[in-house]
Amino acid sequence: MTHQQSPGDLPPPADSPSADARSARRRRRPLSDTPVGDRPADDFVAASPAAVRVSLASPVSVLAIVPSLLGFHPSQSLVVLGVSGPRQRVSLTFRYDLPDPPDAELAADIAAHACEVLTREAIPAAIVIGYGAADPVAASALPVVAALLHAGVDVLEILRAEGGRCFMLNCQNPGCCPPEGIPFDPCSHPAAAALSKAGADVLPDRAALARTLQPPPGTARPTRQATSRALRRLDRLVVTARSGGLDPAAALADAGRTVVRAAIRQYRSGGSIEDRSQLAFLAVVLAGLRVRDDAWAQMDPRQAGPHTALWTDIVTGAAPEFVPAPASLLAFTAWQAGDGALANVAAERALAADPAYSMALLIGGAVQAGLPPSAARLPMTQDEVAASYD
């Protein structure tokens, strides 16, 4: 079996607003982090341009590559690998929070969602992996397995990982599947080493991924000062535009587009921005929809690496009220790249600052629905964006 990278992050299926306890419980606990991928299934595509093919010859080798697929080491999780093709390649990966204590209704939701994504993407087989203690894993994994089999999806393996040991739940033969499990180390396994060498960075857990979008310690005050300077700069632009008989909104949009386009070119050419005043100004001008949408129209998936770096730098350099636009652009870029985990974390970062921010809701909903990266199409060309605001 070979696999491709489709790290991702999928939130729980959206619930309609209601006061019942089940809906409230779901809203409090995200169900899943889902890598949804539709890249060519031939090889694992690492973060670097190089491609690596990894053969998965055993359950332990499957467990070894899951952290690279997700971008972090899962815990208290249920992971589903979608397997397709004559050589059984992993073409889709997603992770759910493991309900603990067990929750039958939540387990049923997980099972229904897993079936929906796999059948819609015409994935014929799956591997189901639970990370955690035996009872909560069984309470969630077995309904998923039953639902998949009922939907005509072949379940190749049912695994449980806990305490550095692998347990095969669909094998009762103590000769090959001892009840005490098989020791494994996902970090030292040759498959994991090959992916790491190819550039597949793995963080300790999902929280570590979320922390990459937080401002560095000790930067709150300088960021606030830089934001104040950026706002005063925009005030001066408005005054200048009015004194010259120009439309202030158009002047602000022109200035914003100019600096954001320059930043995109800078990162695409291998550069970066470390000056907090520049990052704060970029965050402020992106709050204008004309500027944000112009940047959105430039998000070529072939430039996902530079774009990810740019939006991450702006998010971590922005005052809280100016986080939503760059965080949403980062979510879109991550979705384009098949990095569902980062897409969800970025959307969550945007919505933490503004729960009604429409772009973050749109992208979060798309990733939540399990839509593949090919669905992350540019909304409009730059000319169309400009014309829509005229």
Provide the pLDDT for residue 186: 77
Provide the pLDDT for residue 371: 81
DSSP-assigned beta bridge partners for residue 3: 90
Using CA atoms, how far apart are residues 323 and 223, in angstroms rounded to an integer? 12
Provide the pLDDT for residue 23: 29
10 vs 236, more confident: 236
Q: 109-146, pLDDT tens digit by residue?
A: 999 999 998 998 899 999 999 999 999 999 999 999 99
Band of pLDDT at residue 61, cut at 50, 70 and 90? confident
Among the residues of the chain, which ranges form H helices? Answer: 21-28, 59-70, 104-120, 134-150, 190-197, 206-211, 220-243, 248-268, 276-286, 289-296, 304-316, 324-336, 340-353, 358-368, 382-388
Provide the pLDDT for residue 33: 55
Provide the pLDDT for residue 52: 52
Work out whether the CA dihedral 367, 352, 14, 290 comes out positive or negative. Answer: negative
Band of pLDDT at residue 170, cut at 50, 70 and 90? confident
**Distance, CA of 53 to chain centre:** 23
Average pLDDT, stretch 148-168? 93
Provide the pLDDT for residue 46: 24
- Residue linked to tokens 């000319």: 383
**Range with the poorest average pLDDT among 7-21, 208-222, 296-310:** 7-21
Using CA atoms, how far apart are residues 64 and 54, in angstroms rounded to an integer? 11
Q: 318-340, pLDDT tens digit by residue?
A: 999 999 999 999 999 999 988 88
33 vs 356, more confident: 356
Pairing of strands 51-52, 32-33: unpaired
Residues in the chain: 390
C-alpha distances in Å from residue 368, one per residue of 14, 52, 74? 8, 28, 19
Is pLDDT above 50 for 16?
no
DSSP 72: B
Contact 141, 111 (CB under 8 A): no
- What is the overall mean pLDDT for the chain? 82
Provide the pLDDT for residue 217: 93
**Range with the poorest average pLDDT among 77-91, 186-200, 223-237, 298-312:** 186-200
Work out whether the CA dihedral 361, 263, 213, 114 comes out positive or negative. Answer: positive
Q: How far apart are the first and last CA of the chain?
A: 53
The one-letter amino acid code at 270 reads: G
The one-letter amino acid code at 216 reads: P
Name, in order, each residue with C-beta under 8 angstroms of 304's C-beta and a sequence gap of 6 or more.
Answer: 333, 334, 336, 337
Which tokens hold the place of 376?
């992350």
56 vs 31, more confident: 56
Q: 365-381, pLDDT tens digit by residue?
A: 888 777 888 888 877 77
Band of pLDDT at residue 194, cut at 50, 70 and 90? low
Provide the pLDDT for residue 199: 63
Which tokens hold the place of 338?
């098949």
Provide the pLDDT for residue 11: 31
Provide the pLDDT for residue 45: 25
Q: 175-186, pLDDT tens digit by residue?
A: 778 888 888 887
Provide the pLDDT for residue 130: 96
Contact 313, 307 (CB under 8 A): no
Is pLDDT above 70 for 102?
yes
Work out whether the CA dihedral 224, 229, 232, 234 comes out positive or negative. Answer: negative
Q: Which domains does the chain have, with CATH numbers?
A: 21-203 (3.40.140.10), 220-388 (no CATH)
Contact 80, 126 (CB under 8 A): yes
Using CA atoms, how far apart are residues 211 and 273, in angstroms rounded to an integer? 20
Q: 248-291, pLDDT tens digit by residue?
A: 999 999 999 999 999 999 999 999 999 999 999 999 999 999 99
Is pLDDT above 60 for 35?
no
